[in-house]
Chain A
Amino acid sequence: MHLLQLAVLLPFLGAIIVPIIYYYTKRLHPGYVALLFPVSAAAILISLRAAGQHISSMNWMPHIGLNLDFHLDGFAFLFTMLITVIGTLVIFYSISYLGRREALGHFYCYLLIFMGAMLGVVLSDNVIALYLFWELTSISSFLLISFWNHKSKSIQGALKSMLITVFGGLMLLGGLLSLVAITHTFSIREMIAMRSEITASPLFTVALLFILLAAFTKSAQFPFHIWLPDAMEAPTPVSAYLHSATMVKAGIYLVARFTPIFAVSSLWIYAVTFAGAITLFWASYNAVKQRDLKGVLAYSTISQLGLMMTLLGIGGISLHFGHDEIFYMSIVACVFHIFNHASFKGALFMVVGIIDHETGTRDLRKLSGLLHVMPLTFTAAAMGALSMAGVPPFNGFLSKEMFLTSMFDSSESALFNPFAVFLLLALVIIGSLFTFIYSIKLVKDIFFGQRQALPKEPHEAPLMFLASPFILISIVIITGLIPNILTPMIESASSAVLNKPIEHIHISHWHGINPALLTTLAIFIVGTLMVFAFDKWKKIYQLQPEHFTFNTLYQDALQYSERIPHSVNSKIIRSGSRLHVMLIFGTLILLTIAAFLMNPIDLGKWQLAEIRIHEVILVVIILIATYMVLIAKSRIFSIIMLSAIGYSVGLFFVFFNAPDIALTQLTIETISTALFLMCFFHLPKLTLYGETAKFKISNAVVAILSGLAVIVISLVAYGHRFYPSINEYYIKNVYELAAGKNMVNVILVDFRGFDTLFESSVLGIAGIGIYTLIKLRYRKDDEHEETKK
């Protein structure tokens, strides 16, 4: 066991140990035990990074390519730190958040599984392991969203996120396997080394689209963003951890990780840039109208993820045209913003959880004037929100500035025409404006204004509850004031994304007067005015159609996917056996037609016997008897005609020199006729149930076509005899080897005796069956009722 594998497996170990400890010691809050695992994982990762150990592999299932090969580069290290550090804070926070009446063992089990899976996602170099951990994050996220499983909204939210992210997960599998098919390697690093072959492959676009779909669904990009607001039914620590800081960034991680392979394609750059920009605009526009605190933060998360996606798209240009410094600054901005967003959004979620916990509501219309009641909470909320809005001196300002600069720089790329640049800038500037508005409005609505009646008497939260958000806020302030302490981390992470060393990055507050700064100033001024005039322009939200949203689309799709199979199934299954028989014979007919359309009929060589007059007479007799059976009105008549057919067939066997089967046929025909007569005595009169003309004609069409199909198949088969029959052997050896003269009998009992053995068994089983059917009777009680119902 290498240390790197140990770091990933530690949380899984915790997921087993914590519930066991919880089961035996109810006094100790299991959160304290759970804290050990992320802390020790973080310690291992930091020491490995300091020691310069990057790669470690462990065989698991080498024959299917699944190995625990981990690669700790700068980008993965950034993510592991977010996962373990914020994980630690979230667990600490949840100790205060979740009371002892909750199912704590389950909670920490799921949370630690998620943590391990997330570490696995960001560290895996093996694509199959990446997929495995990816799905594990979806599953543990599903379990965490539905943690309060007595609420139907939780279950629906969990189901929705599961369906959408697992759809993306399957796309990921498709994309990764396409890459494996091209490169014949399971390692991402080797794939990056072979990128020219990947680009040349016809599977390139397929792999690209699949991986983008996976990333967009996981990172809640437009139009797959609908699951994230509904996932807010989860406990707030879960929202803070999964749905702001870590899991939703798995898609960002994926796009960044595969940028060296795919960014040579302009499709990738366009898709990533514009999906991100549209998401940024749409989600920040919608965040303003939310009335639920977590709803605001959910839409805000979606829009910030869109921002990161856009930056990755622009950053990809540097790979498209060779390394160009202004574009890879965009990657640097993205990496920086990943860090910043995790810090302030985690803090904001925790603050919202505290408000919810201390006031009993998350409804923005009820909350107001809490400034003097909860001053500490206000401080944390205000700093987080200002950072989110991009106000100096917080870290959000720095990454926002870098973001806007990158967007303005994109106009220098030959890849974008003026219209595209205009569209992009319009989307991101309006998006940033709305980001400013909802951030400021959030704080203004909660903490200022008149106090209203609340479900609980509000009071300041205990310090232990506030500790986690304050640690995150202090990170926001420190990295805002002295951003260059992060430079080594950002440099190594950006180099890992671009697969090329990047050095000498300097982040500062003052760049001189440039378009980005002017835009930011304009956003501040317009945004502040709009916050205070919100009542005047909030009508624009009514312009949106109520019933045509992506949510209703999803609901309808879900409903139809249940209703259509159900109606089809009930039609086919409940329609009775006639339709089934028709389908079976219809398939035979269609297959025959298809087979003979593809292969021209060639009757081949015919070796025909001459036609003899008595045989023709027999044929005529059979035809007449068959016709009589078809039109028979009484059962006795139809059974006599049936035996006429049977005896005629027996006669055919006589004419064609088959004495044994003739004998058998005549005997059996007699017995069957007797049996028919015996049963008919008990059965009702032959009635033609509802034989309308339409019924008859449809039956006749199927019947005639099946007969024709049999005729065609037999004729063609008879015309093609590729090999002589094996019967020479039987004829030659029947006397020498088997000491018998009757060839049919010798074949039956000697050459092919097994057939006969089991044929007798069939007869025996039928006999037992008949005996049972006649003897076994239910007593005339409820059993009979049930069959009649």
Chain B
Amino acid sequence: MEIIMIVLAGILVSASVYLILSRSLLRIIIGTSILTHAVNLLLLTMGGLKGGAIPIYDKTIKQYVDPIPQALILTAIVISFAITAFFLVLAFRSYKELGTDNLDEMRGVPDDE
């Protein structure tokens, strides 16, 4: 199962890189969201997917799944949410200000030559 998950994460990374390389601001933000999912899945997978109980303490259970990656992913989800939200508003504002969401047209101030 881990191999399948790793390959899935790799495919998600490919898709997100492809989206990030495009010129539309929207697709870039979608790409970063997908990258987040890929990384979260990878974090979980690398902790091991071998069975075990839900990590809630119970005297009778000997084998739990690893709680550490879960804590890490929880933090990561929240942070990536904050960043995605910020990106979205940034895209919204820059579209309002610049009138475009094409990255090639956002070239800043031409340098003085």
Residues of chain A whose beta carbon lies under 8 Å from any beta carbon of chain B: 570, 574, 576-578, 581-582, 585, 606-612, 615-616, 619, 622-623, 626, 629-630, 635, 638-639, 642, 645-646, 649, 652-653, 656-661, 664-665, 668, 671-672, 675-676, 679-680, 682-684, 686-691, 699-700, 702-704, 706-708, 710-711, 714-715, 717-718, 725-727, 730-731, 734-735, 740-744, 747-748, 752, 755-756, 759, 762-763, 765-767, 769-770, 773-774, 784, 786-789
In the complex, which of the residues B3, B10, B98 has the most CB atoms of chain A within 10 Å of its own CB atom?
B10
3 nearest A-B residue pairs (beta carbon): A707-B14, A711-B10, A766-B82
Would you call A585 and B10 a contact (CB within 8 A)? Answer: no
Given contacts A629-B34, A657-B52, A659-B54, contact A688 B15 (CB under 8 A): no
Measured CA separation A688–B25 after assembly (Å): 10
Would you call A619 and B50 a contact (CB within 8 A)? Answer: no
Would you call B15 and A626 a contact (CB within 8 A)? Answer: yes
- B residues in contact with A769, CB < 8 Å: 86, 89
Would you call B71 and A616 a contact (CB within 8 A)? Answer: no
24 A-B pairs, CB-CB below 8 angstroms? A609-B49, A615-B1, A646-B37, A649-B37, A649-B40, A653-B44, A658-B54, A660-B70, A661-B70, A664-B77, A680-B26, A688-B24, A689-B22, A689-B104, A707-B11, A707-B12, A726-B68, A727-B67, A731-B55, A744-B71, A759-B75, A773-B90, A773-B93, A788-B98
**How far does the Cβ of A619 sit from chain B's closest Cβ, in whole Å?**
5
Measured CA separation A635–B24 after assembly (Å): 11
Measured CA separation A629–B7 after assembly (Å): 18
Picked from A610, A661, A679, A743, the residue with its CB within 8 Å of the CB of B77 is A661
Measured CA separation A786–B97 after assembly (Å): 12
Would you call B103 and A711 a contact (CB within 8 A)? Answer: no
Measured CA separation A774–B89 after assembly (Å): 8
**How far does the Cβ of B18 sit from chain A's closest Cβ, in whole Å?**
4
**How far does the Cβ of B58 sit from chain A's closest Cβ, in whole Å?**
8
Measured CA separation A682–B37 after assembly (Å): 26
Would you call B57 and A689 a contact (CB within 8 A)? Answer: no
- A residues in contact with B18, CB < 8 Å: 630, 699-700, 702-703
Residues 75-113 of chain B, each 1 if its beta carbon lies under 8 Å from chain A, else 0: 101110111111011111101111001111001011100
Would you call B44 and A656 a contact (CB within 8 A)? Answer: yes
Picked from B4, B86, B95, the residue with its CB within 8 Å of the CB of A766 is B86
Given contacts A789-B109, A789-B110, contact A626 B34 (CB under 8 A): yes
Interface of B is mostly: helix
Would you call B10 and A714 a contact (CB within 8 A)? Answer: yes
- B residues in contact with A653, CB < 8 Å: 44, 73
Would you call B56 and A742 a contact (CB within 8 A)? Answer: yes
Would you call B86 and A715 a contact (CB within 8 A)? Answer: no
**How far does the Cβ of A290 sit from chain B's closest Cβ, in whole Å?**
39
Given contacts A635-B26, A688-B22, A774-B89, contact A609 B14 (CB under 8 A): no
Would you call B23 and A710 a contact (CB within 8 A)? Answer: no
Would you call A731 and B75 a contact (CB within 8 A)? Answer: no
- B residues in contact with A726, CB < 8 Å: 68
Closest to B78 in A: A759
Would you call B71 and A748 a contact (CB within 8 A)? Answer: yes
Would you call B78 and A668 a contact (CB within 8 A)? Answer: yes
- A residues in contact with B109, CB < 8 Å: 786-787, 789
Given contacts A649-B41, A679-B91, A730-B68, contact A684 B85 (CB under 8 A): no
Picked from A576, A619, A774, the residue with its CB within 8 Å of the CB of B8 is A619
Within B13-39, the residues touching A (CB, 8 Å) are 13-15, 17-27, 30, 33-34, 37-38
Given contacts A638-B30, A679-B92, contact A748 B23 (CB under 8 A): no
Measured CA separation A574–B113 after assembly (Å): 13
Interface of A is mostly: helix
Would you call A711 and B6 a contact (CB within 8 A)? Answer: yes
Would you call A714 and B55 a contact (CB within 8 A)? Answer: no
Would you call A702 and B68 a contact (CB within 8 A)? Answer: no
Picked from B15, B24, B90, the residue with its CB within 8 Å of the CB of A629 is B15
Measured CA separation A228–B68 after assembly (Å): 71
Picked from B64, B81, B95, B104, the residue with its CB within 8 Å of the CB of A683 is B95
- B residues in contact with A642, CB < 8 Å: 30, 33-34
- A residues in contact with B2, CB < 8 Å: 606, 608-609, 718
Would you call A623 and B8 a contact (CB within 8 A)? Answer: yes
- B residues in contact with A743, CB < 8 Å: 55-57, 64, 67
Given contacts A642-B34, A717-B46, A767-B82, 12 further A-B contacts (CB under 8 A): A578-B21, A582-B21, A629-B34, A638-B30, A740-B57, A741-B56, A747-B68, A748-B74, A755-B75, A762-B78, A787-B97, A787-B98
Picked from A619, A659, A752, the residue with its CB within 8 Å of the CB of B4 is A619
- B residues in contact with A574, CB < 8 Å: 107, 111
- B residues in contact with A789, CB < 8 Å: 109-110
Measured CA separation A690–B102 after assembly (Å): 10
Measured CA separation A759–B80 after assembly (Å): 10
Measured CA separation A521–B89 after assembly (Å): 92
- A residues in contact with B102, CB < 8 Å: 687, 689
- A residues in contact with B74, CB < 8 Å: 660-661, 664, 744, 748
- B residues in contact with A612, CB < 8 Å: 1
Measured CA separation A659–B74 after assembly (Å): 11
- A residues in contact with B48, CB < 8 Å: 607, 609
Would you call B15 and A611 a contact (CB within 8 A)? Answer: no
- B residues in contact with A756, CB < 8 Å: 75
- A residues in contact with B98, CB < 8 Å: 787-788
- B residues in contact with A787, CB < 8 Å: 97-98, 109
- A residues in contact with B13, CB < 8 Å: 706-707, 710
Would you call A679 and B23 a contact (CB within 8 A)? Answer: no
Closest to A734 in B: B57
Would you call B82 and A576 a contact (CB within 8 A)? Answer: no
Would you call B52 and A714 a contact (CB within 8 A)? Answer: no
- A residues in contact with B91, CB < 8 Å: 679, 683
Would you call B21 and A702 a contact (CB within 8 A)? Answer: yes
Would you call A731 and B67 a contact (CB within 8 A)? Answer: yes
Would you call B104 and A744 a contact (CB within 8 A)? Answer: no
Closest to A690 in B: B23
Measured CA separation A684–B66 after assembly (Å): 44
Picked from A606, A686, A748, the residue with its CB within 8 Å of the CB of B24 is A686
Closest to A760 in B: B78
Given contacts A649-B37, A676-B88, A741-B57, contact A707 B101 (CB under 8 A): no
**How far does the Cβ of A287 sit from chain B's closest Cβ, in whole Å?**
42
Closest to B51 in A: A609
**How far does the Cβ of A621 sit from chain B's closest Cβ, in whole Å?**
11
Measured CA separation A570–B23 after assembly (Å): 20
- A residues in contact with B8, CB < 8 Å: 619, 622-623
- A residues in contact with B67, CB < 8 Å: 727, 730-731, 743-744, 747
Measured CA separation A651–B88 after assembly (Å): 25
**How far does the Cβ of B17 sit from chain A's closest Cβ, in whole Å?**
4
Measured CA separation A623–B26 after assembly (Å): 20
- B residues in contact with A699, CB < 8 Å: 17-18, 21-22
